[in-house]
Chain A
Amino acid sequence: MRAQLFTVDLLIALIPLTIALGVSAAAFSGLAGQVQDYAYYYDAKRTVTDVLDVLMKSPGVPPDWNTSNPPEIPGLVVQGSRGYNNLSYEKLQALNVSMLTPLLPYPYINLSVYTTTGELVREVSQGSRGGVSEVFGAERFGTINGSTPVRVLLEVGR
C-alpha cells in the first residue's frame, strides 16, 4: 500500500513538471524564433538604411561621376555642397539600377524620389514588388539642388 501511494504521489508530481517542461520548450523555441526574426529584420533594414545614407550624404566616388566615369560609390549629393541631404538633379537623372546592385544584392530594388507634394521626380527599379515575400524599406528627406524639398524611398525585397 505504501509503495502504491508513493508511486501515485510521484505520478501526480510529475504532471505539472512535465507541463512546465513542455511550455518551457515551446517558450524557448518561440524566443529563439523571435531573436532570429529580429536579427534578420535588422540586417536587411540596416543594409537599406546604410545604402540610403551613402546616397544622401556623399557626392560619390568620383564626386563628378555623373559627368565623368561610372561611380565606384554612387552618392547623390551636389559636388561641393556645404551640407548633406542636398541632392543633385543631374546625378539623380544619371543614376541607374546597375549602380545600386553591387550594394544591394536583392532581387527587388526600388528607389523613388518624390517632392513633398507627391510628384515623382525619379524612379530607379529592378524586379517587381509582387515577386518577393518580404520587403524592407527606409525613407529619407532632403532637397534637390538646395531648393525643392523631397522624400527619398528605398525598398528592397527577397
Chain B
Amino acid sequence: MKAFVFTMDAVLAIIPVIVVIAALSQGGILSHSNELQGKLMDKYRKASDVLETIYASGAVDELNQTRMESLLNALLAGNNYSYTIHQGTKEVVRIERGNLSEAKDVVVARKPALTYISRVLNWTNELCYEDRGRGWQIYTMSFNTSDISLYDYWFVAELTGANVLTSNGDAVGTYLDYRTCEEIVPSSPTLPGEGDSLCEGDYWYVDDPSYPTVCKAKFYFGDWNPPGAPASWQSYTTYYTYIRLPGNRAGTFYIIQVPAGTPPEDVVPQIPPVKQKVIMTLKVWEEE
C-alpha cells in the first residue's frame, strides 16, 4: 500500500511536467514571436524610411507642412500615423491620421534634423511685365513661408551707385500677392504699381535716410489685403512679391526669413543662414 501511495504521488507530480513539455512541443511560440518581431521591424524600417525621405526632400528646412503631408500620405497609404517636429520642447509641426488610442501595434521612429530659422530665401527675380506708359518694369520673386506666426519675412532692396532714390518719382514699389504673374497680368496689369513706395511711408526701414541705398519692408500678413488676395494669409504657402522699378533703375532684391520680432537692423542681405536642431518623430500603427 505504501508503495502504491508513492507511485500515485509520483504520477501526480509528473502531470504538470508533462503539460509544460507538451505545450512547448506544440511549436508556434517561437514562430509567432518571430512573425511579430519581423512585422514590427519591417514597420519600423518603413517609418525610418519615411523620415529619411521627408528630410531628403528639403521639406524640413522650410517646415513645409504641405509637402510633408503629401509624402506621408503617399508613403504610408494604409497606415495611420502621427508625425511631429519639436524644436526643443516646443512642438512646431503636427500632422496626424487615425486614432492612436485604438492602435494595435505602434512603432516609433525618430530622426534629428536641421531647419533654417534665418536665411535669404530668394535673391533672383524675373521680369513679369513692362508698363511702357509709365516707364516701369515689374519684376516678381517667389518664396515659400514656414509658420508665419514664428517667422517674419522681409523684402530688402539694395540699390547701387547712381540709382540712389531721390524723389517719389524715382521710388521703387513692392507688393505681396499669392498669385503668379500669369494669373495677375491678364486681370489687372497695373496692380503692382499701387504698392507702397520704397523708402517712404511707415512700412519702410532705411539704413541711412540721407542716402537710402538699402531699404527694407516687413511683409505684413494682416487684414489689409490687395484686391483678390485671400481673406487670411496662410502659413506654408508660396507667395509672390512684385517689384515696381523705374525703367532707368537697377538694384538687387532679397527675400529674407528671420525669427519673428527680429529688429530691422539685423535684417541685412549678408545675413548668414542659421539652422536649428529639430527632432522628427513618426508613430505608425494599424487600428483594431
Contacts and interface: CB of A to CB of B under 8 A. Distances in A.
A35 B74 contact: no
Interface string B147-167: 000000000000000000000
A27 B56 CA distance: 50
Interface in B39-73: 42, 45-46, 49-50, 52-53, 55-58, 71
Given A6-B3, A9-B3, A149 B22 contact: no
A129 interface: no
A23 interface: yes
Given A83-B56, A141-B53, A116 B21 contact: no
Q: Is the interface of A mostly helix, strand, loop or mixed?
A: helix
B111 to A, nearest CB: 9
Interface string A1-12: 000011001001
B274 interface: no
A85 B21 contact: no
Contacts of A17: 14
Given A9-B3, A116-B74, A149-B71, A24 B56 contact: no
B10 interface: yes
B24 A27 contact: yes
B124 interface: no
Interface size class of B (residues with CB under 8 A): 20 to 34
B31 A37 contact: yes
A6 to B, nearest CB: 7
A19 B18 CA distance: 8
B27 interface: yes
B3 A84 contact: no
Chain B: interface secondary structure? helix
Contacts of A45: 38
A139 interface: yes
A146 B57 contact: yes
Contacts of B21: 20, 23-24, 27
Interface of B: 3-4, 6-7, 10-11, 14, 17-18, 21-22, 24-25, 27, 30-31, 34, 38, 42, 45-46, 49-50, 52-53, 55-58, 71, 74-75, 77
22 contacts: A13-B10, A20-B17, A20-B18, A20-B21, A23-B22, A24-B21, A27-B21, A30-B25, A35-B30, A37-B31, A41-B34, A56-B49, A82-B55, A82-B56, A83-B53, A83-B55, A116-B75, A139-B42, A139-B46, A141-B49, A146-B56, A146-B58
Q: Which 7 pairs from chain A and chain B are nearest by CB?
A: A83-B56, A27-B25, A149-B74, A141-B49, A86-B56, A116-B74, A85-B52
